[in-house]
């Protein structure tokens, strides 16, 4: 159903458009500064004297929460505002191809930001003897988590012609999907007398719960399957929204 | 080349387009006339597959836009209203992107982009980003993307809107150059355009076709032969209060 060549052409344009303005570089620097500050300044990476990246990966969901919506808010909103959506969707491509291309472009951009954190791996390897398998697993989990956030962002961006609304909606959905699996929240809810089974069932739907296992170095196909499902579901939702609201 | 059959579009309770049917053959330049809000753009958006019709369909070179959208879209060149384009790209990059999506690669892609830059008289601005261009050049850039794949059907929504007289002249010349081997639809509310480029005219008012004739036939409906009077009589049935 999807023509790979079409996806590639649109992907290239989308991806390059990030670097058309200084915003991309500001974004990358903000990402690295924020994640560096949280890891070294707040989580006390050095003071722990442990050669693993647990305090580093711990912050990834919260950094994505803030920055992924910023990277995805323009994907559809900008096309709507400038009217290029009419150009794009009357080209001989399917809406699914366009959506996948936009999603992959934004994901690749976040992937670059993530890849640029490599010095922390080198630092850890120089200072101690970390488990490289666990680090790889953490990065894989982080990449999948960011993919889920990007897919949510694509969906949110399709809802409105305003980038701000796209940002806020993406942030709200991501926040919800994170905190339903965040331990302090789970403990608080359980304290209200909500049945443990229910709390656990809801928590197992969260972006956080599945990342927790991976950042500790455990790859389970359930977790990978979960992220793939979230991505596919959000893209399908974006397809429905875009199809129904093209002209508005 | 292009057959539009019983197109209808409702936006909630509003009937924007009520049962529009017509055909356009190769070599024809169809002027799509009507006051603002008559349903011209909506009809064009349905023909190009941008929005789905409530009922009816359009067939482009034998491909139904609803059942074979990709094949149908491949036969159409479309210049949307206000000539949108990606403003941060250069003219050459933008046209290369369109060429790639249209399925061109390698040398053929380069040749096609070169030829369309020449045809649309964009040589002097080819390496400028689109945001730095004047309205006339932006219009021509968007025009260039519409004709890049030499489409059998060309659909243009107000191609001369907001241009100065010289720019209008250039756009009309380009339309005439291509008229012989294409089926062309040009929407406009500028009556002088009709004489300048069209071989046939459809007047649409309140979502309905109220006239389908040659410019000469249309003109003959008024004793003085004034198109604006004919246009007013056709589209202002409810009197002056409508304005």
CA pair distance A223, B92, nearest whole angstrom: 44
Instruction: Check residue A48 and give its pLDDT.
Output: 80
Average pLDDT over residues A69-98: 93
Query: What count of other Cβ atoms lies within 10 Å of the Cβ of residue A198?
Result: 11
Give the residue from B65, B207, B64, B78 showing the smallest Cα distance to B154. B78
- Collect all residues of chain B within an 8 Å Cβ-Cβ radius of residue A22: none
Q: Which residues are within 8 A (CB) of B117 and not within 5 positions of it... i.e. 6 or more apart?
A: B91, B92, B95, B123, B126, B144
Asked whether the predicted pLDDT for residue B243 surpasses 60, the reply is: no
Contact B97 A13 (CB under 8 A): yes
In order of A86, A180, B149, B208, the CA distances from B30 in angstroms are 22, 59, 21, 16
User: Is A120 part of the contact surface with chain B (CB cutoff 8 Å)?
Assistant: no
Phi, psi of B59 (to 5 degrees): -120, 125
Q: Which residues are within 8 A (CB) of A73 and not within 5 positions of it... i.e. 6 or more apart?
A: A153, A156, A157, A163, A164, A166, A167, A170
Instruction: Check residue B222 and give its pLDDT.
Output: 81
Instruction: Check residue B25 and give its pLDDT.
Output: 92
Instruction: Check residue B240 and give its pLDDT.
Output: 45
Q: pLDDT tens-digit profile of B121-174?
A: 899 999 999 999 998 899 999 999 999 999 999 999 998 887 888 888 888 888
Contact A21 B88 (CB under 8 A): yes
User: Is B73 part of the contact surface with chain A (CB cutoff 8 Å)?
Assistant: yes
**Pairing mode, if any, of strands B29-33 and B183-188?**
parallel
Closest approach of B41 to chain A, Cα-based (Å) = 11
Q: Are B44 and B33 in contact (CB under 8 A)?
A: no
Q: Where are the beta strands (DSSP E) in chain B?
A: 2-11, 14-24, 29-33, 55-60, 63-64, 76-79, 153-157, 183-188, 200-205, 208-213
- Collect all residues of chain A within an 8 Å Cβ-Cβ radius of residue B74: 92
The closest CB to that of B84, out of A12, A21, A82, belongs to A82
CA pair distance B52, B32, nearest whole angstrom: 20
User: Is A89 part of the contact surface with chain B (CB cutoff 8 Å)?
Assistant: yes
User: Is B85 part of the contact surface with chain A (CB cutoff 8 Å)?
Assistant: yes
Contact A87 B97 (CB under 8 A): no
Q: Are A211 and A68 in contact (CB under 8 A)?
A: no
| Cα–Cα–Cα angle for B50, B54, B57, rounded to 5 degrees | 65
Question: Scanning every residue of chain B, which has its alpha carbon at the shortest distance from the alpha carbon of A83?
Answer: B84
Asked whether the predicted pLDDT for residue B239 surpasses 50, the reply is: no
Closest approach of A150 to chain B, Cα-based (Å) = 22
User: Is A20 part of the contact surface with chain B (CB cutoff 8 Å)?
Assistant: yes
One-character DSSP codes across A176-239: HHHHTT-HHHHHHHHHTT--HHHHHHHHTTSHHHHHHHHHTT---HHHHHHHHHHHHHHHHHHH
A134 is written with which tokens? 């666990």
Average pLDDT over residues B51-63: 93
Confidence class for position A128, pLDDT limits 50, 70, 90: confident
Residue among B49, B86, B157 with most chain A CBs within 10 A, to mutate:
B86
Residue among A2, A9, A98 with most chain B CBs within 10 A, to mutate:
A9
Instruction: Check residue B229 and give its pLDDT.
Output: 84
Question: Scanning every residue of chain A, which has its alpha carbon at the shortest distance from the alpha carbon of B99?
Answer: A9
CATH numbers and ranges of domains, chain B: 2-75+153-242 (3.40.50.300), 85-150 (no CATH)
Question: Scanning every residue of chain B, which has its alpha carbon at the shortest distance from the alpha carbon of A21?
Answer: B88
In this predicted complex, what is the ipTM?
A: 0.88
Question: Scanning every residue of chain B, which has its alpha carbon at the shortest distance from the alpha carbon of A84?
Answer: B84
Instruction: Check residue A241 and give its pLDDT.
Output: 92
CA pair distance B200, B183, nearest whole angstrom: 11
Q: pLDDT tens-digit profile of B187-238?
A: 988 888 888 889 999 999 888 888 898 888 888 888 887 888 888 888 876 5
Domain boundaries, chain A: 4-244
Give the residue from A96, A109, A117 showing the smallest Cα distance to A34. A117
Comparison of pLDDT for A169 and B135, the residue scoring more: A169
User: Is B32 part of the contact surface with chain A (CB cutoff 8 Å)?
Assistant: no
Q: pLDDT tens-digit profile of B73-123?
A: 999 999 999 899 999 999 999 999 999 999 999 999 999 999 999 988 899
Contact A9 B101 (CB under 8 A): yes
User: Is A248 part of the contact surface with chain B (CB cutoff 8 Å)?
Assistant: no
A120 is written with which tokens? 């922390």
Confidence class for position A189, pLDDT limits 50, 70, 90: confident
Contact A5 B85 (CB under 8 A): no
**H-type helices in A19-131, by residue range?**
23-36, 54-58, 60-72, 74-82, 84-88, 95-115, 119-127
Residue among A92, A102, A244 with most chain B CBs within 10 A, to mutate:
A92
- A with B: how many residue pairs have Cβ under 8 Å apart? 68
User: Is A94 part of the contact surface with chain B (CB cutoff 8 Å)?
Assistant: yes
User: Is B50 part of the contact surface with chain A (CB cutoff 8 Å)?
Assistant: yes
Q: What is chain A's Cα-based Rg?
A: 19
The closest CB to that of B70, out of A12, A83, A92, belongs to A92
Contact A9 B97 (CB under 8 A): yes
């Amino acid at each position: 159903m999807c023509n790979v060549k079409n996806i590639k052409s649109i992907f290239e344009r989308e991806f390059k458009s990030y670097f058309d303005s200084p915003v991309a570089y500001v974004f990358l620097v903000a990402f690295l500064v924020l994640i560096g500050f949280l890891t070294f300044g707040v989580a006390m990476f050095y003071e722990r004297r442990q050669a693993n990246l647990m305090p580093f990966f711990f912050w990834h969901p919260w950094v994505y929460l803030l920055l992924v919506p910023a990277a995805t808010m323009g994907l559809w909103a900008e096309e709507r505002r400038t009217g290029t959506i009419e150009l794009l969707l009357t080209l001989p491509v399917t809406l699914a191809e366009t959506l996948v291309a936009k999603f992959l472009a934004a994901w690749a951009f976040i992937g670059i930001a993530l890849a640029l954190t490599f010095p922390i791996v080198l630092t850890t390897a120089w200072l101690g003897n970390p488990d490289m398998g666990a680090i790889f697993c953490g990065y894989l989990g982080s990449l999948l988590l960011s993919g889920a956030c990007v897919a949510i962002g694509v969906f949110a961006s399709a809802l409105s012609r305003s980038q701000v609304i796209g940002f806020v909606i993406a942030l709200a959905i991501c926040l919800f999907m994170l905190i339903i699996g965040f331990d302090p929240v789970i403990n608080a809810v359980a304290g209200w007398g909500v049945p443990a089974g229910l709390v656990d069932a809801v928590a197992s739907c969260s972006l956080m719960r599945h990342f927790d296992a991976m950042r500790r170095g455990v790859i389970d196909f359930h977790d990978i399957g979960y992220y793939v499902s979230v991505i596919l579901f959000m893209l399908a939702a974006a397809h429905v929204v875009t199809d129904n609201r093209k002209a508005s | 080349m292009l057959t539009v059959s019983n197109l209808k579009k409702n936006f909630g309770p509003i009937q924007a387009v009520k049962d529009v049917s017509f055909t356009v053959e190769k070599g024809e330049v169809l002027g799509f006339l009507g006051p603002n809000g008559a349903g011209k753009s909506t009809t064009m958006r349905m023909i190009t597959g941008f929005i789905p019709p409530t009922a009816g369909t359009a067939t482009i070179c034998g491909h139904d836009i609803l059942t074979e959208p990709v094949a149908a879209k491949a036969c159409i060149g479309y210049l949307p209203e206000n000539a949108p384009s990606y403003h941060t790209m250069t003219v050459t990059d933008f046209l290369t992107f369109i060429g790639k999506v249209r399925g061109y690669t390698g040398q053929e892609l380069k040749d096609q982009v070169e030829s369309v830059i020449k045809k649309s008289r964009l040589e002097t601005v080819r390496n400028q980003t689109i945001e730095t261009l004047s309205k006339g050049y932006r219009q021509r850039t968007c025009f260039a993307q519409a004709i890049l794949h030499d489409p059998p059907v060309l659909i243009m929504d107000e191609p001369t809107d907001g241009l100065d007289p010289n720019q209008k002249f250039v756009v009309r010349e380009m339309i005439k150059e291509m008229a012989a081997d294409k089926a062309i639809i040009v929407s406009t509310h500028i009556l002088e355009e009709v004489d300048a480029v069209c071989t046939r005219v459809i007047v649409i008012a309140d979502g309905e076709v109220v006239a389908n004739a040659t410019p000469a036939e249309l003109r003959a409906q008024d004793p003085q032969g004034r198109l604006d009077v004919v246009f007013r009589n056709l589209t202002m049935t409810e009197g002056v209060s409508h304005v």
